[in-house]
């Protein structure tokens, strides 16, 4: 909602006092600054600013006022997703995954609902460029999900880890690279799906 000229002035006065003293002006101070005949006029302006979504605070306590960002109502829930090291998007590699930290994700913008089984891995290599997955990207994966043919998965194939596309060939599961420089991987002994990709985060240099 659009603010009136006086409401803008009151809001700017509150901002100015907060910046100068780290305190919010009282209703009495607001009234005195603008020459209002009573604190009621100051309270009316404060109520209007609250109603229009630019201030919040306890009733009758001006010093509890907090100025809200115009984007406050657009904020989405943010969760921390653990990052368990790197995964080769190239030739399969034998390595131990270790937690490196976490990445904070706006879950609604990413379009996922993370669970306790959601994790991330950083991509190394270029075997998945056909799926627009580049080296340095973070893939968000869900452990325990059953992959469908065409899903991108983090997998342990014959004790070596890799990021590839899960494909069924004549009913048998294989791991397909999305770069003609790399072969399709066919398990000799074991194929274990560690996670199915549900999202991608790219850091732009």
pLDDT single digits (tens) 23-76: 888 889 999 999 999 889 998 998 898 888 888 876 555 567 777 766 445 556
Q: Do 82 and 99 contact (CB within 8 A), yes or no?
A: yes
> Could you give the CA distance from residue 105 to residue 163 in angstroms, rounded to a whole number?
21
Quick: pLDDT tens for 140-163.
999 998 999 999 999 999 989 999
Q: Give a three-class secondary structure readout of the chain.
A: CCCCHHHHHHHHHHHHHHHHHCCCCCHHHHHHHHCCCCHHHHHHHHHHHHHCCCEECCCCCHHHCEECCCCHHHCCCEEEEEEEEEEECCCCECCCCCCCEEEEEEHHHHCCCCCCCEEEEEEECCCCHHHCCCCCCEEEEECCCCCCCCCEEEEEECCEEEEEEEEEECCEEEEECCCCCCCCECCCCCEEEEEEEEEEECCCC
> What is the model's pLDDT at position 94?
57
Q: Which pLDDT value is given to residue 132?
A: 96
Which among 124, 131, 164, 176 is annotated as catalytic? 164
> Is residue 127 annotated as a catalytic residue, yes or no?
yes
Q: Which of 124, 127, 161, 176 is catalytic?
A: 127
Residue 60 has a pLDDT of 56
List of domains in the chain: 5-72 (1.10.10.10), 78-201 (2.10.109.10)
In 3D space, the residue among 122, 179, 188 whose CA is nearest the CA of residue 157 turns out to be: 188
Using alpha carbons, select from 176, 178, 84 the residue that is nearest to residue 138. 84
Report yes or no: 121 and 85 within 8 Å, Cβ to Cβ: yes
- Angle (CA) 175-177-178 rounded to 5° is 135
Strand partners, 169: 172
The number of angstroms, rounded, from the C-alpha of 34 to the middle of its chain's C-alpha atoms is: 43
């Amino acid at each position: 909602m659009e603010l009136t000229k006086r409401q803008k002035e009151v809001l700017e006065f509150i901002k100015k006092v907060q910046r100068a003293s780290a305190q919010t002006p009282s209703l009495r101070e607001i009234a005195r600054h603008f020459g209002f005949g009573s604190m009621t006029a100051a309270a009316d302006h404060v109520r209007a600013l609250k109603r229009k979504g630019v201030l919040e605070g306890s009733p009758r306590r001006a010093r509890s006022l907090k100025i809200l960002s115009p984007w406050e109502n657009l904020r989405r829930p943010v969760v921390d997703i653990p990052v368990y090291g790197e995964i080769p998007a190239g030739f399969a590699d034998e390595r131990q995954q270790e937690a490196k930290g976490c990445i904070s994700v706006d879950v609604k913008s990413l379009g996922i609902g993370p669970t306790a089984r959601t994790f991330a891995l950083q991509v190394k290599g270029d075997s998945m460029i056909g799926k627009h997955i580049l080296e340095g990207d973070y893939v968000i994966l869900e452990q325990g999900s059953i992959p469908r043919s065409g899903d991108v998965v983090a997998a342990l194939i014959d004790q070596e880890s890799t990021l590839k596309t899960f494909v069924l060939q004549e009913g048998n599961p294989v791991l397909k690279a999305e770069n003609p420089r790399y072969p399709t991987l066919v398990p000799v002994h074991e194929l274990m799906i560690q996670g199915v990709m549900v999202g991608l985060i790219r850091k732009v240099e």
